[in-house]
Structure 1
């Protein structure tokens, strides 16, 4: 007994301060505690020296000595312990090293801080000062129309120096009760800086069978069964920094990651979700009237489209993600009356309306954050972050997202295949369902036509007609619906000022929206003062650029890649430039055709001079959303060529006599304008 007491005292001394028990600290409506580490935790100490054979021994600007998460999910316990130690070796990073943020949801969680320590010169210092810890409800998602009730404990350390090791340990007790313990615990075991040791350990009730999902070389878990618990543990030592190449498809992340949960089936998840979507009951009279009106439309697809647009456009997106509201939708009647709701609220409302019109429809759980990667996840309610609707027409699934404002086209024409998989909330469902692209495919793309021609006073008339289809039309329609037309028009004009110099708008911006075909057409008219550059006495040049292809042909942040690359929404992207020049100008370039082909796209540029000017036609056909990792090097080679080919300099020889005449005409125009201005004064 004496030895056990001595060991316990030693452990408390190592943690920096001995606490007889948890001590609460109130900050307004919120509180946190300071106390000892939970008994289930098996702590790993930070070694005195970095392993010289491990990555990070060269003391990079930032390195992690320890990262571990330990969860106790046994019945009656719900604890997640985190221990985190890092070292800063760059003065420019001291500000980041001296602050830390711990997030929890006081609606169902409590926060206990165990240690805040700093090692300098081989000696650990206690830096835990509860009086200096503040709590703040940050609501970081409010700008995205989300309120989740999370609170942050903000820890700011004084006197942090280069070479210091900071260690913070804490426990969050509790998890969202609406999930009914359908949780997945996980950890990223390597990051963008070297990590000496990373751990994940999970305890469950005795006899529990674990299911795991591993990504990017994460180690296998070691399972042990004891009388008091089933345990699984992961450890990774000496992890090198992982380069984040960015521009990944949504489903991919580059870090070694381990996920673990109790073994269950997708049918178990459906059984959990079904009670969240009960019989909706009566609907408001005005909604019933609308349903009766939609029911008179000729076809089920038209009825589905009308209802979808009403929920998308008339019910604004706003989510109160607190407590059971994180996963339990509001009654459809309330969502309609309040004219607001998040994805689950709107999906519940829409599926209810559709069933009233005898269209089979159910909410379907999916993941916007990880897309198709959830196909390999361990079944759990926590795998999902979004809800859409699966309707059935002519025996085939039709996937629609009620949160997509201002979407055009018939219901089901928008490609949701980037979500990968969904789990329909329907009794008898026991597997994820793949979300296939619409058939026929969504006709997405952009078609821009620029025409430049001589105008009075030596100026150049510019007409731009931009046609957006599919996903491109949806994005622009939403932008036009949420901004003043004058502001958009001014922005468009400034865009061309940056390209061609000073200009005046010669006609108002015109917007024509064919929402049924999901086509948005924008027409602009300008007078350019002097878009040509004088290269010498007899040479004029005009720089042009294919903006319509700039997004799909853009190069990624990192050209050397080991992961896949997101390219663009599949579709046709085209930019035509038609230049008319004054009589007598002679092109100093000839006809040419450039072609670049890859598995994911085709690109062509045709330059066709003619007696009065030139026509340039840029085309890019994107076939795939992404480039697989195995093909990305070869594909990027062609994409770089296409990206470099988007700009062109058109040079013309101007005979001296024409040049002199043009100068005289410009001078006369200036004199006339000055006289007119003087007369007005």
Structure 2
């Protein structure tokens, strides 16, 4: 099923038959309960459109997506109604089990209707539906516990060609928001919908702030419930999300609403959450005193960042208001765990106690670049970091990033697009600094030393990862053993050299102090490297490290930007030392490419008996505009052809010598420097 519509269908539980007020009842499962009741008076009910001549080409045909919200001063009321036709067996399977996740700490759910239409006849399915409510934590795998409840409804007797229609309500607002409210409604998906209805009723007592994208103005009216805004669209077409597009790209229409018309209001609300009025515990006081004793403020900052990132385990208990209110520094210090806001609050407390200016900063990890396009609201953020000011510089520090190097100047700066700094007087978003390809880099030196044309060739690979690339490699290495690393690389090289075998254990050296670099040294032997034919010794080469950065996406003809793994510089140098001082020729020419998105250069150096082939790729940005994608993909194809090549050594191979041993002694042993 289409992932966007599927989200709406399975997160909107099922429901039930139309009830009179006297028929309201409660379904209880363990400590959770749901009320079965009639739909609220303020909600409108839609008539299904006649089925089109051509249904969606998929397991389900979506007939109705209706969402309505009534916002009052301290709570929100949502009424949701959906209808879909099961077009085949897979559609029956998907629609027969509906799920709804809600937060029982501040939300209640009411089920209103669950019906099946078959051959023009509608029947209710509530009486025979199986309903269970379970505690299901979708983000527990990410060490986040929300205390959520999931209601699962199994719909009986649903068949191919049936239309399932159901409605439900959610009521409540996290008390942490107080009178603040806001929301986001998508109005297009990767499947067409016969009828889409959206209604917003403002009974909050404050003006409603709206922003819309690729939608006409709402139809406005006033009723006894409040000021109403409605969008009603029929035959909504399919919208396409192009694989690889950045998460902040808005590829379909949407509406955002909020109680705030400026970012200052969000700052004023959120700033009050980050306070530490309690006196520090003896243990916390002891730690603060130990940091003060360091004297040097730069060292104090480094120690505090190290402590918060590496000694406070990332784990979030975000039940109720704890979704936004951080635990106290005392609690986090004692437990030795916390989520992003807990870490940010503790870091602020510690830095303030050594006289360093630090502020929490709200960010959106997925769509931060689009924040300026949204209506200001506290619901737009999903992460908290710190802005630290020291010696006239700004440092963005993510307390949850435990794989960073030590030292202020070695810390890689997170780039989430924009941040809202919780500082008194702040009234605008702050653009975060983008990465630089000169700082984030990978450098690979691959050397092949041949003592003869009928004996194994020694291959040495020295790889250096710096900046964010070092952070990424450090993150990958923490979850695997050295054996896993060795097997990964060995099997990768075996695709080109089937006769390869590991000669020495892989050396991994992590430089976290003074510089941010990870060094890997590998040593192999390759059988049958040469293919000798008369006076020609042929061989194959691949600048393998570049392959990770030049993969073509599945969608080539693009109307949306494409995210890439930049900014970054990747250098790969291949050196081949032959047994004799003979001439070496390769089938590739020097290549230079320079586009707005990337720069690439390959060149060949050498002397008799030695071949040096250098490749350098610079990705200048982290995304490619759709207008530049054709040029970018053309460049990738040229690079792909350039990094794989064959070579030929020409000469008399009857009396081999080995000048490569001296080269190995003099050059490769510098890998530890």
TM bracket (short chain): 0.7 to 0.9
Question: Which of 188, 191, 197 is 1:190 aligned to?
Answer: 188
Question: Which of 548, 551, 554 is 2:551 aligned to?
Answer: 554
Shift of 1:430: 2.1
Question: Which of 399, 404, 407 is 1:402 aligned to?
Answer: 399
Q: Distance in 2 between matches of 1:604 and 1:542?
A: 22
Question: Which of 62, 66, 71 is 2:69 aligned to?
Answer: 71
Aligned match of 1:11: none
SS in 2 for 1:592: coil
The answer on 1:501 being equivalent to 2:498 is yes
Aligned match of 1:5: none
Q: Distance in 2 between matches of 1:428 and 1:382?
A: 21
Deviations 1:625-671 (A, max 9, x none): 11123333333332333244332233556868689x9xxxxxxxxxx
CA contact 2:387–2:394 (8 Å) conserved in 1: yes
The answer on 1:445 being equivalent to 2:441 is yes
The answer on 1:260 being equivalent to 2:257 is yes
Aligned residues: 641
Shift of 1:149: 1.4
Cα distance 1:572–1:345, how it changes in 2: closer, same or farther (>3 A)?
Answer: same
The answer on 1:524 being equivalent to 2:522 is yes
CA contact 1:391–1:399 (8 Å) conserved in 2: yes
Greater shift, 489-498 or 564-573, is seen at 489-498
Aligned match of 2:369: 372
Q: Residues 269-308 of structure 1: matches in 2 within 5 Å?
A: 269-295=266-292, 300-308=297-305
The answer on 1:199 being equivalent to 2:197 is yes
Greater shift, 59-68 or 399-408, is seen at 59-68
Q: Residues 576-587 of structure 1: matches in 2 within 5 Å?
A: 576-583=573-580, 587=584
Aligned match of 1:219: 216
Shift of 1:355: 1.0
Cα distance 1:341–1:270, how it changes in 2: closer, same or farther (>3 A)?
Answer: same
The TM-score, its normalising length taken from structure 1, stands at: 0.87
SS in 2 for 1:267: helix
Shift of 1:565: 1.1
Q: Distance in 2 between matches of 1:210 and 1:268?
A: 14
Q: Distance in 1 between matches of 2:617 and 2:304?
A: 35
CA contact 1:592–1:608 (8 Å) conserved in 2: no
- In structure 2, runs of 5+ residues without a counterpart are 1-14, 658-673
Q: Residues 331-342 of structure 1: matches in 2 within 5 Å?
A: 331-342=328-339
CA contact 2:442–2:465 (8 Å) conserved in 1: yes
Shift of 1:384: 0.9
Question: Which of 38, 41, 49 is 1:39 aligned to?
Answer: 41
Aligned match of 1:22: 24
Deviations 1:371-419 (A, max 9, x none): 1211222222111110010111234432111111120264376554631
Deviations 1:315-340 (A, max 9, x none): 11101111111001011121122111
The answer on 1:487 being equivalent to 2:484 is yes
Q: Distance in 1 between matches of 2:167 and 2:482?
A: 53
Q: Distance in 2 between matches of 1:539 and 1:46?
A: 76
CA contact 1:71–1:185 (8 Å) conserved in 2: no
CA contact 1:74–1:229 (8 Å) conserved in 2: no
Shift of 1:17: 4.3
Aligned match of 1:167: 165
Question: Which of 510, 531, 535 is 1:513 aligned to?
Answer: 510
Shift of 1:293: 4.3
Q: Distance in 2 between matches of 1:102 and 1:436?
A: 39
Aligned match of 1:49: 51
Deviations 1:158-213 (A, max 9, x none): 44444332222111121222122422222211111111221221112275422123
Greater shift, 559-568 or 474-483, is seen at 474-483
Greater shift, 305-314 or 205-214, is seen at 205-214
CA contact 1:83–1:168 (8 Å) conserved in 2: yes
The answer on 1:386 being equivalent to 2:383 is yes
Aligned match of 1:454: 450
Greater shift, 576-585 or 172-181, is seen at 576-585
CA contact 1:372–1:421 (8 Å) conserved in 2: yes
Q: Distance in 2 between matches of 1:280 and 1:630?
A: 53
Shift of 1:245: 1.0
Q: Distance in 2 between matches of 1:33 and 1:130?
A: 17
Shift of 1:290: 4.2
Q: Distance in 2 between matches of 1:581 and 1:159?
A: 75
Aligned alpha-carbon RMSD (Å) = 3.0
Greater shift, 58-67 or 245-254, is seen at 58-67
CA contact 1:25–1:130 (8 Å) conserved in 2: no
Cα distance 1:409–1:629, how it changes in 2: closer, same or farther (>3 A)?
Answer: farther
Deviations 1:345-371 (A, max 9, x none): 000011111111111111111111211
Greater shift, 403-412 or 650-659, is seen at 650-659
The answer on 1:329 being equivalent to 2:326 is yes
CA contact 1:208–1:230 (8 Å) conserved in 2: no
The answer on 1:428 being equivalent to 2:430 is no
Aligned match of 1:671: none
The answer on 1:126 being equivalent to 2:124 is yes
SS in 2 for 1:390: strand
Shift of 1:224: 2.5
Cα distance 1:497–1:361, how it changes in 2: closer, same or farther (>3 A)?
Answer: same
Q: Distance in 1 between matches of 2:341 and 2:319?
A: 13
Q: Distance in 1 between matches of 2:640 and 2:409?
A: 33
- In structure 1, runs of 5+ residues without a counterpart are 1-13, 662-681
Q: Distance in 2 between matches of 1:282 and 1:494?
A: 57
Question: Which of 226, 245, 254 is 2:242 aligned to?
Answer: 245
Cα distance 1:204–1:525, how it changes in 2: closer, same or farther (>3 A)?
Answer: same
SS in 2 for 1:599: coil
